[in-house]
Amino acid sequence: MPVTAFEARTRQFDRAPIGARGYHEPAVDAFLERVAATLDGDDDLSVSDVHNVAFAKAPLSKRGYDPAAVDAFLRDVEGTLAGLSQSTDYYIAPALEHTHTRKPLWRRR
């Protein structure tokens, strides 16, 4: 399901598990604002930018955002951006129908 700019701006994440340091919240929030701006057409993040982003750990006194939840959301963002960047100006030929699973017409014994 595509991610919208509104979802990127308003997304809330659970805190990291107790005893674990999650992602630094302001860094994630700032990046998600860039994602929203990109979806609005005001920024130019690429799928690669989203895939390669790295966040600092939360300060020792804070738990930060749960890394698994943030990473899952960013995978959805990658899919959305990949869908937006695909052009329909070219033709992709469909694959041959199951040629790799056809049985031979005759068998040697």
Per-position DSSP letters for the chain, written without gaps between them = -PPPHHHHHH---PBPPTT---B-HHHHHHHHHHHHHHHHTS----HHHHHH---PBPPTT---B-HHHHHHHHHHHHHHHHHHH--SSS--PPPPSSGGGPPPSS---
Q: The whole model's pTM is what?
A: 0.75
Number of domains making up the chain:
1
Residues of the domain holding 57: 5-71
The verdict on residue 89 lying in a domain is no
Residue 103 included in any domain: no
| Residue range 64-107, pLDDT digits in tens | 999 999 999 999 999 999 888 764 444 344 444 443 333 444 54
